[in-house]
Structure 1
Amino acid sequence: MLASITDDPPILVCADLQVEYLTPGRRHVIRDGEAATTRCLELLTLWRDRLWPVMHLKRIAQAAWFNPASRLTDWIAEARPRPGEMTFEHPLPSAYSSSRFVDYMSNIHNGRCVLIGFSLDETILATAVDGFHRSHRYQVVADAVACRQPGSGDGAAYKQAVVNVAGNFATIQSSAELIKTSGAVAV
């Protein structure tokens, strides 16, 4: 089934686009940060230019490695939420750990959400799984998500494995598949 993206645009959900994930030497530094950031910013710009709905998720954990008072939890400058864009802080990996997010998602009708951003192996995966169990529809943009470096092994294989798992709970698409010249998006 195809729906016009301009008639019924999905909500772009920007997950954890925070400085923490791009700072070299940090425990949760992401793999391929530059490529993922570029793709995220391209999609964010498209959504903003067309005045489509944008939502930002920000992980505020209480763990020692994630100090909320640190500037490392700040948004990446280009991805900072603008007035009118929704923001939700969540303490656990899933965005559904925010009661405000749960309230919002339970009140939208036929909502479709496109997940992009960092912490693929935490926030994005956990949110897709929780959303699936609530009958919410998610799409994960495979070339606009990134995850931390695994402790050992091949980072690209790790990311692909997480994307494959997310595919059990969300539609997986590339950014090129998401937005086609036909103006349609698979739902």
Structure 2
Amino acid sequence: MLVSVDDDPPILVCADLQVEYLTQGRRHVILDGDATMSRCQDLLTLWRDNLWPVMHLKRIAQAAWFNPASKLTDWIPELKPRPGEMTFEHPLPSAYSSSRFVDFMSNIRSVRCVLLGFSLDETILATVVDGFHRSHRYQVVGDAVACRQPGAGEAATYKQAVMNVIANFATIRTSAELVRTGGAIAVQMNATGG
């Protein structure tokens, strides 16, 4: 079944677009950070230009080792939320660990979200799985997500393995599909939650 975005646009969910993922000396933990950020920026521009809903997720750890004065959890300046865009802070990997996020998602008529950003192997994976179990439909933009490099092994292989798991719970899309179709974008709905 195809649903026109003009009738009911999906929410663009920007996951953990925080400075720490692009900070010198910490950059080794992100695969393709600059390319991912560029694609995120293109999609964010598309959503904003069409006045479609945008949501930002921000992971705020509550552990004793977390330094609340650190600037590493700040938004990446080019991708930070604008007035009127929703923001949700979550202490655990899943955005559903935020009670405000749960309340919001449970009160919208047709939950359809396009998910992009960082921490693919934590926030994005956990949120998609939690959402799937609540019958919320997610699409993950495969070339607009990034994850930490694994402790051992090839980073691209690790990312693909995580994407293979996510594909069981969400539809995988590319940024080119979304940008190419612009205002005429059609969102495919299927039984896997997409």
TM over 0.5: yes
TM-align CA RMSD = 1.5
Question: What corresponds to 1:186 in structure 2?
Answer: 188
Q: How much does 1:32 deviate?
A: 0.6
The one-letter code of the counterpart of 2:136 is H
Correspondence list, 1:89-108, <5 A: 89-108=89-108
Distance 1:32-1:170 versus aligned 2 partners, 3 A rule: same
The one-letter code of the counterpart of 2:123 is T
Q: How much does 1:94 deviate?
A: 0.1
Q: How much does 1:25 deviate?
A: 2.2
Question: What corresponds to 2:192 in structure 1?
Answer: none
Identical residues among aligned pairs (%): 80
* SS of match in other structure, 2:35: helix
Establish whether residue 24 from structure 1 lines up as the match of residue 24 from structure 2: yes
Question: What corresponds to 1:44 in structure 2?
Answer: 44
Distance 1:104 1:28 in 2: 35
Establish whether residue 145 from structure 1 lines up as the match of residue 137 from structure 2: no
Q: How much does 1:79 deviate?
A: 0.8
Distance 1:28-1:129 versus aligned 2 partners, 3 A rule: farther
Q: Deviations over 1:94-113 (max 9, x none)?
A: 00000000000000011200
- Structure 1, unmatched stretches of 5+, are none
Q: How much does 1:64 deviate?
A: 5.4
Q: How much does 1:26 deviate?
A: 2.2
Question: What corresponds to 1:166 in structure 2?
Answer: 166
Question: What corresponds to 1:14 in structure 2?
Answer: 14
Question: What corresponds to 1:70 in structure 2?
Answer: 70
Q: How much does 1:84 deviate?
A: 0.5
Question: What corresponds to 2:176 in structure 1?
Answer: 176
What TM-score do you get using the length of structure 2 for normalisation? Answer: 0.92
Distance 1:63-1:149 versus aligned 2 partners, 3 A rule: farther
Question: What corresponds to 1:124 in structure 2?
Answer: 124
Q: Is this contact kept in 1: 2:40–2:144, CA < 8 A?
A: yes
Q: Is this contact kept in 2: 1:120–1:162, CA < 8 A?
A: yes
Q: Is this contact kept in 2: 1:20–1:28, CA < 8 A?
A: no
Distance 1:27 1:33 in 2: 8
* SS of match in other structure, 1:114: strand
Distance 1:27 1:77 in 2: 17
The one-letter code of the counterpart of 1:184 is A
Distance 1:172 1:180 in 2: 16
Q: Deviations over 1:62-100 (max 9, x none)?
A: 235643321010000011111100000000000000000
The one-letter code of the counterpart of 1:51 is L
Distance 1:36 1:68 in 2: 26
Q: Is this contact kept in 1: 2:20–2:26, CA < 8 A?
A: yes
Distance 1:161-1:87 versus aligned 2 partners, 3 A rule: same
Query: How many residues in Structure 1 have an aligned counterpart in Structure 2?
Result: 187
